[in-house]
Amino acid sequence: NAGVTQTPKFQVLKTGQSMTLQCAQDMNHNSMYWYRQDPGMGLRLIYYSASEGTTDKGEVPNGYNVSRLNKREFSLRLESAAPSQTSVYFCASSPSGGARQETQYFGPGTRLLVL
């Protein structure tokens, strides 16, 4: 039982390049989330998926797209990376999109540097 896994752990991109951050969970959770963490800003929600086949925007969605491939996997895509997207990205999952007492479980993060 690995929990929430993320790949890659670290990535350097040039401005304009594209890449996909991968996230998978093995806890049979319905909901999955992508956050970015920047110094002094805490964690901010980019996108989330309440269930397989659904996605919705969070607080800072611009410049990103997501895909809920199946119940286990939720990917985040940067189509044209910008220096402002340099950040640490965290994926999280929680048991149920309908529950009120859910706890989110976090992956180890992906550190992205855009030059």
Partner 1 sequence: AQSVTQPDIHITVSEGASLELRCNYSYGATPYLFWYVQSPGQGLQLLLKYFSGDTLVQGIKGFEAEFKRSQSSFNLRKPSVHWSDAAEYFCAVLDFGNEKLTFGTGTRLTIIP
**Contacting residues toward partner 1, per CB under 8 A:** 4, 31, 33, 40-45, 48, 50, 56, 58, 90, 92, 97, 100-109
d(C-alpha 22, C-alpha 43), whole Å: 18
Nearer to partner 1, 17 or 44 (CB): 44
Contact 61, 46 (CB under 8 A): yes
Question: What's the closest the beta carbon of residue 97 comes to partner 1, in angstroms?
Answer: 7
Nearer to partner 1, 85 or 94 (CB): 94
Question: What's the closest the beta carbon of residue 15 comes to partner 1, in angstroms?
Answer: 26
d(C-alpha 85, C-alpha 21), whole Å: 13
Q: Extract the runs of DSSP E, i.e. beta strands, from 1-115.
A: 4-7, 10-13, 19-25, 31-38, 42-49, 56-57, 64-68, 74-78, 87-94, 105-106, 110-114
Nearer to partner 1, 80 or 96 (CB): 96
Question: What's the closest the beta carbon of residue 10 comes to partner 1, in angstroms?
Answer: 11
Question: What's the closest the beta carbon of residue 107 comes to partner 1, in angstroms?
Answer: 5
